Structure 1
Amino acid sequence: MNGDALPRRFWLCADDYGLSPGVNRAIRDLIERGRLNATSAMVVGPALGREQVDALRDAAAASRRCSIGLHATLTAPFHPLTMHFQPLDGGLFPAFPQMLRAGLLRRLDPEIIRAELSAQIAAFIELFGRAPDFVDGHQHIQLFPQVRNAFLAAVKETAPGAWVRQGGRRQPLMRRLGTPKALLIDMLSMQFRRSASRADIACNPAFAGAYDFSKAADFGELMQQFLDGLPDGGLVMCHPGFVDDILISLDPLTAQREREYAYLAGEAFPRLMASNNVTLA
């Protein structure tokens, strides 16, 4: 490492604020420790009342810098904000596979999608008293066919100063081929970036953080992989949290959230950043 080289700056964004009290508490703790510089909030989540919003705003205000964005959500087990959203499954958004299939088969109504996303942005503005710094998507929903243009139109109209998350990586081809989920995100992100550019909406230059959540992976080793080749301004997604009953009822990603939190809160993470000459943006 060249000691004279300026460190690469990157965004470390904790998704899912508002999913459960335990997730919220872990994210706020990491912000206060200076270990995160971004989080995205789910306005359709069950744990995003006024008290939780105020606590997040206080934590972000006390940190060196922390951006707060909207985690746009269009998949189960959450309810839409708009009355006429379609399709629905028992009053809930469809599950991830159904939404992806409907988008690929062009069976979604982009205007209905745009209206729901505009309503979620408006709800964020009502809760936080300002527009989101950025907008991303739960389960990468913003990248789906038919959703992406509706998503970008809603951001352009209701949060014109926000940037948006794309999921394309800058890693060796063999590593990308070895992660099917991340490869799909890469492919969907190519069109998303082109559409965002046409709409004159900024997005992150590169992305990392996708992995097989079903395995008890060593998050320190994964973080090293995420930082390899990540350019200045790149974004790493993470999902820290403490397991509670609400989280268990809503999301299969539980124990791994605690492993992510433990690593990010510990002393190995600052050492890893120093050895890679990177810093939070």
Structure 2
Amino acid sequence: MIKLIVNADDFGYSPGVNYGILHSYLYGIVNSATMMMNMAGTRQALAMAKQYPGLRTGVHLVLTSGKPLLTDLVTLTNKDGYFRSQVDLEGISLEELELEWSAQIDRFIGAGLTPSHLDSHHHIHTREEFLPVVQSLSKKYGLPFRVNGDFPLEGVKSHTDRCLFDFYGDGIQEDYFSTLAEKAEDGETVEVMCHPAFADQLLMEGSSYNLMRLMELKILCSAKLPPNIKLIY
């Protein structure tokens, strides 16, 4: 038996994203989500997570979208106070990064929620140079992190045995979940990353990955799992 976690990233990005994730949980196979703590839809996502505790929710740590929660983080932001882009991350202070990511986790916990696990926007936590921060946060909060595909992060508790990133873009296929057993081994716990959403103005203007999220939503709400794959939680 393969144990499956279908995790919706970007909870909190916008109302359209939030409603898409909730719809995929209530009427589809999404059973987990990770929340961005610095975005326009974060307050709504926090309320939704409280209302639907069956949707296990963790924190989607952010370094490349929006503004940080803390101020005066000079190595993390551009001249306008926004996070730098994912192609411009040279010279990041690990001390500043740990302070900001701790603030994001603390905001989630401070809202009265218990995070299930941690991952990051644009897979930033898997960058080798940030490993000391990831190790420190995992230990500090006692939380597992998303693995880097088939590879655990050194010195960090893993959320699953494997994480599949290919339900994305051209990899979004109607039969994706019916053939999922071909990509995992019996007895493994497997996470599939997904990004369901209803398109709204914030998503359309802020993300190049927008309308494809509607296709993800449709498949996540119609997918049939084979008998040797079981959703957990």
State whether TM-score is above 0.5. yes
What's the secondary structure of 2:128's corresponding residue? coil
User: Identity percentage over the alignment?
Assistant: 22
Letter in 2 for 1:194: E
| Residue aligned with 1:32, SS | helix
* Among candidates 2, 5, 22, match of residue 8 of structure 1: 2
Letter in 2 for 1:165: R
Alignment partner for residue 168 of structure 1, among 140, 143, 149? 149
Deviation at 1:121, TM superposition (A): 0.6
Matches within 5 A, 1:95-134: 95-99=85-89, 102=90, 107-127=91-111, 129-134=112-117
Structure 2: 5+ residue stretches without partners: none
Q: Do the aligned partners of 1:121 and 1:131 also contact (CA within 8 Å) in 2?
A: no
- Tell me which residue corresponds to 1:39: 33
Question: What is the CA distance between 1:202 and its match in structure 2?
Answer: 3.3
For 1:91, which of 59, 81, 84 is the aligned residue?
A: 81
8 Å CA contact 2:198, 2:214 repeated in 1: yes
Please say if 1:228 is aligned against 2:188: no
Tell me how far 1:227 sits from its aligned partner. 4.3
Mapped to 1, the partners of 2:58 and 2:202 lie a distance apart of 22
Measured at CA, do residues 195 and 84 of structure 1 come closer, stay the same or move farther in structure 2, by a change above 3 Å? farther
Q: Taking structure 1 as reference, are residues 226 and 250 closer, same or farther at Cα in structure 2, changes over 3 Å only? A: farther
2: distance between equivalents of 1:259 and 1:8?
A: 25
Q: Which residue of 2 aligns with 1:54?
A: 47
Q: How does 1:76-87 map to 2 (within 5 A)?
A: 76=65, 78-85=66-73, 86-87=75-76
Aligned length: 228
Instruction: Quote the Cα distance in structure 2 between the aligned partners of 1:34 and 1:265.
Output: 4
Partners of 1:261 and 1:52 in 2: how far apart?
A: 17
- TM-score by length of structure 2 reads 0.89
More helix by percentage: 1
CA–CA distance in structure 1, aligned partners of residues 125 and 172 of structure 2: 28
1:223 CA drift (Å) = 4.0
Name the SS for the 2:135 alignment partner.
Answer: helix
Q: Aligned partners of 1:167 and 1:117: how far apart in 2?
A: 19
TM-score w.r.t. the length of structure 1 is 0.75
After TM superposition, list the pairs within 5 Å mapping 1:107-256 onto structure 2. 107-127=91-111, 129-157=112-140, 159-160=141-142, 162-169=143-150, 190=151, 193-196=153-156, 201-210=157-166, 213=169, 215=170, 218-223=172-177, 226-231=180-185, 232-256=188-212
Question: Is residue 71 of structure 1 aligned with residue 60 of structure 2?
Answer: yes
Q: Which has more radius of gyration?
A: 1
1:40-66 deviations in Å (ceiling 9; x for gaps) = 0100111011x43222332334xxxx3
Q: Do the aligned partners of residues 218 and 83 (structure 1) sit closer, same or farther apart at CA in structure 2, a change above 3 Å counting?
A: closer
User: Helix, strand or coil: the match of 1:236?
Assistant: strand
